[in-house]
Amino acid sequence: MSFTRSLALITVTTIVLAPGIHGQDNGIRIRIAVTQNSYDALSGVPFMVSLIQEGAVVQQAEQTYNNGLTFRLGPGIYEVRLEGAGAVTEVKRGITVTDGNWTDLIGGPMRAGEGLRIVEYATGGFTREEMAARIASLEAALSRVQEALDRLTAAHERAEPPGT
């Protein structure tokens, strides 16, 4: 990857949408990315980004690769749809916005081609902190199971073979 492309990956331009919604300090920030093997095909393609809640488009904007969009939104669960000419349409479902928090999201990475790719975020409406606590609890339980398995394996290896 060239220095210019590397620099382009770091630079993010932000556009603030919905100026009529003042005082909300929550929403979704999206940076549109493309896969490396799709860069030449998609680097100049404008992508339509739609924010959908309960089946209705609540906000929509167009942006190109490696640029950012900021959508000020009320708390809720949203669907983000990204589509552009020559790109596989991507839909991310279950994106949660909580009061007073911003949700950062990578739009894509977009791929050259046709079709639809759906990514489900099954959070059940939990906040990121609640999901992080649940994941930490599962990781701790997995660690305990692994320790028990290691003890059983060691005990089995120390055991004398039958009939000796």
Q: Reply yes or no on whether the pLDDT at 32 is more than 80.
A: yes
What is the reported pTM?
Answer: 0.60
* Together in a domain, 111 and 135: no
Say how many domains are in the chain. Answer: 2
More confident: 124 or 81 = 81
What's residue 14's pLDDT? 30
* Together in a domain, 38 and 109: yes
* Together in a domain, 78 and 141: no
Burial class of residue 71, CB neighbours in 10 A (0-12, 13-18, 19+): buried
Tokens read off for 50: 């739609």
Q: pLDDT per residue over 12-31, tens digit each?
A: 323 333 333 445 688 888 88
Q: Reply yes or no on whether the pLDDT at 70 is more than 80.
A: yes
What's residue 163's pLDDT? 65
* Together in a domain, 157 and 117: no
Q: Reply yes or no on whether the pLDDT at 10 is more than 70.
A: no
Beta-sheet pairing, 76-83 with 56-64: unpaired
* Together in a domain, 87 and 134: no
More confident: 89 or 44 = 89
* Together in a domain, 28 and 104: yes
The mean per-residue pLDDT over the stretch 114-142 comes to: 76
Q: pLDDT per residue over 77-90, tens digit each?
A: 899 999 999 999 99
If we measure between CA atoms, which residue out of 85, 80, 124 comes closest to residue 103? 80
Per the prediction, the chain carries an average pLDDT of 78
What's residue 5's pLDDT? 39
> Is 95 in contact with 112 (CB distance < 8 Å)?
no
* Together in a domain, 91 and 40: yes
CATH of the domain at 37: 2.60.40.10
If we measure between CA atoms, which residue out of 127, 117, 90 comes closest to residue 106? 90
* Together in a domain, 159 and 98: no
> Is 65 in contact with 43 (CB distance < 8 Å)?
yes
92 is in which domain, residue-wise? 3-124
Q: pLDDT per residue over 133-147, tens digit each?
A: 777 788 889 899 999
What's residue 125's pLDDT? 59
* Together in a domain, 54 and 131: no
* Together in a domain, 131 and 103: no
* Together in a domain, 145 and 83: no
* Together in a domain, 64 and 106: yes
What's residue 130's pLDDT? 74
- In SS3 terms, the chain reads as CCHHHHHHHHCCCCCECCCCCCCCCCEEEEEEEECHHHHHHHCCCEEEEEEEECCEEEEEEEEECCCEEEEECCCEEEEEEEECCCECEEEEEEEEECCCCEEEEEEEEECECCCEEEEECCCCCCCHHHHHHHHHHHHHHHHHHHHHHHHHHHHHHHCCCCCC
